[in-house]
């Protein structure tokens, strides 16, 4: 399994560190040729305006949209989630439109308003997930094919999935809980098996548990 992490700006190294802990081959993606033969791709947190500008400068937009047509599994965290949306409220950032959702940038305020909380994410089990929100976005609305994975007590949506795409408003890469990355890798593994004709399953469900070891 080979996972790329977009490394134009943001906390990409933290994602790579977690993938390496899970014994998965991870590469920093800074050039178009580094998108070749990926099994999955992660858009990290950072500054969404800066990342979008750099993606344009390096001509990534067209290639990303072509990869989406193949069903490539993609996970976006914080700024990465913003870029994956179909619509970004009150923003001039051009969205990639990977998921049928509308998001709002910096929805919780400035850096000083950052916070941590424990989220119940049923697909990960009963144990709460420690979520770190830093100038985080939120999901305002979703289309019928989007599965809501987690919400705050207020009802604010902070994690969702559509097929092989996973959007997370917070920073799972900044903590020690590996379950969300493991969940993404299960999506990747299932997609690979479907592509190989090994299994037949619905696009919105993960029925494959991959044996990922942790050091």
Instruction: Return the closest-CA partner of residue 131 out of 176, 90, 99.
Output: 176
Report the SS3 class of residue 117. Answer: strand
Q: Which residues contact 161 (CB under 8 A, 6 or more apart)?
A: 146, 147, 149, 167, 187, 204
Rg, Å, the chain Cα set: 16
**Hey, which residues are catalytic here?**
78, 171, 173
- 3-state secondary structure at position 26: strand
CA angle in degrees (0–180, nearest 5) for 165-170-176:
100
* Other beta carbons within 10 Å of 128: 13
Residues 6 or more apart in contact with residue 63 via CB below 8 angstroms: 32, 35
């Amino acid at each position: 399994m080979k996972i790329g992490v977009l490394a134009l700006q943001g906390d990409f190294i933290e994602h790579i560190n977690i993938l390496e802990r899970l014994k998965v081959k991870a590469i920093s993606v800074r050039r178009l040729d580094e998108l070749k033969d990926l099994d999955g791709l992660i858009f990290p947190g950072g500054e969404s305006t800066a990342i979008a500008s750099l993606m344009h400068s390096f001509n990534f937009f067209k290639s990303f949209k072509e990869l989406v047509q193949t069903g490539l599994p993609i996970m976006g965290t914080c700024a990465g989630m913003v870029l994956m949306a179909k619509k970004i409220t009150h923003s001039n950032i051009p969205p990639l439109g990977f998921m049928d959702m509308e998001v709002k940038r910096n929805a919780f305020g400035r850096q000083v308003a950052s916070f941590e909380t424990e989220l119940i994410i049923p697909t990960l089990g009963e144990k709460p997930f420690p979520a770190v929100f830093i100038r985080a976005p939120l999901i305002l609305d979703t289309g019928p094919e989007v599965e809501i994975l987690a919400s705050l007590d207020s009802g604010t949506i902070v994690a969702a999935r559509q097929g092989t795409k996973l959007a997370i408003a917070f920073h799972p890469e900044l903590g020690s809980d590996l379950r969300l990355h493991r969940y993404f890798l299960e999506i990747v593994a299932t997609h690979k098996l479907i592509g190989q004709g090994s299994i037949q399953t619905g696009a919105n469900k993960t029925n494959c548990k991959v044996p990922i070891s942790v050091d």
